[in-house]
Amino acid sequence: MQQYFVDEELHSGQQITLDDDVIYHLVKVLRKDSSYTFRICDDSGKIFHAHLIDKNSCIIEDLTGENNELESDITCILSLIKNDKFELCIQKLVELGVKRIVPYEAVRSVVKIKDNKKLERLRKIAREAAEQSHRNLIPEITEPADLKDLEKYKSEANYICYESETNIADIGPSSSITYIIGPEGGFEDREYENICRMGFESVSLGKRILRAETAAIYMTSIIAGKCQ
């Protein structure tokens, strides 16, 4: 069942006008009419059933009462890597339940986010993945960060995934968790040491060298599996 997000608080019985792009998707792409029940999530995370009542508005029906969010707030600081792989990570990490993704300009990142257009595209991918996975919120894609910005994204528990580490990630329960994944070329030595000095615990994801996108998805799966 298709889900859409709206930027307002809703209540059952209310009639609302839907954005043109939602109407276009429902009516032109999915070719649905007033008999089709879909889901609307409001800006406080409440998910309702709804159906069209005319060509651009719908009625809000019963509250589903669903909470599809993880118990912990997860932040992934994801080094900028090649576009298609970075976009794949955004989509998969949203499906897996992260709350925030910080595009990190690592020392060895060859890709940069030069303009807002790129950031808007990433946020659109996050919104669509949140709709498809029936999230109660759209995860935040922050402004690009560099090393000095990382402190502000720390959580109760903080990890840096490092392929030369031997200590296998033993992620304990925490109300909030932040972890950082390096770029295709890995962390530069001094960069790694600075991040550890900020209080990020160095953890291994096993003996094999994973691609950045594999490491991001795998680390998120480990954490999400512990706080469903």
CA angle, 65 then 98 then 12, to 5°: 20
Q: What is the dihedral of CA 69, 73, 77, 83, to 10 degrees?
A: 10
Work out whether 222 is an interface residue with ligand SAM (CB under 6 A): no
Sheet holding 37-41, edge to edge: 3-5, 37-41, 47-52, 57-63, 15-17
CB of 133 to ligand SAM, least distance (A): 24
Q: For residues 158 and 86, what is the distance between their CA atoms, to the nearest angstrom?
A: 21
Closest distance of CB 179 from ligand SAM, Å? 9
Q: Does 102 bind ligand SAM (CB under 6 A)?
A: no
**211 sits near ligand SAM (criterion: CB under 6 A):** yes
Q: Which stretch binds ligand SAM (CB under 6 A): 27-35, 124-132, 147-155, 207-215?
A: 207-215
Q: Does 5 bind ligand SAM (CB under 6 A)?
A: no
Residue 114: CB partners within 8 Å, gap ≥ 6?
none
Site string for ligand SAM, 164-193 (x = CB under 6 A): -----------------xx-xxxx------
CB contact at 8 A, 43 and 15: no
Structure-token match 């709709």, residue found = 131
Q: Work out whether 206 is an interface residue with ligand SAM (CB under 6 A).
A: yes
- Per rule CB under 6 A, is residue 161 in the interface with ligand SAM? yes
The reply on whether position 162 binds ligand SAM by CB under 6 A is: yes
Please check whether residue 158 is in contact with residue 140, taking contact to mean a CB–CB distance below 8 angstroms: no
- 209 binding ligand SAM? (CB under 6 A): yes
**Of 54 and 170, CB closest to ligand SAM:** 170
Among 205, 217, 223, 224, binds ligand SAM (CB under 6 A): 205
Q: Which DSSP symbol is given to 27?
A: I
Nearest approach in angstroms of CB 145 to ligand SAM is 16
Specify the 3-state DSSP secondary structure of 196.
Answer: helix
Q: Summarize as ranges the residues that interact with ligand SAM (CB under 6 A).
A: 161-163, 181-182, 184-187, 204-206, 208-212, 215
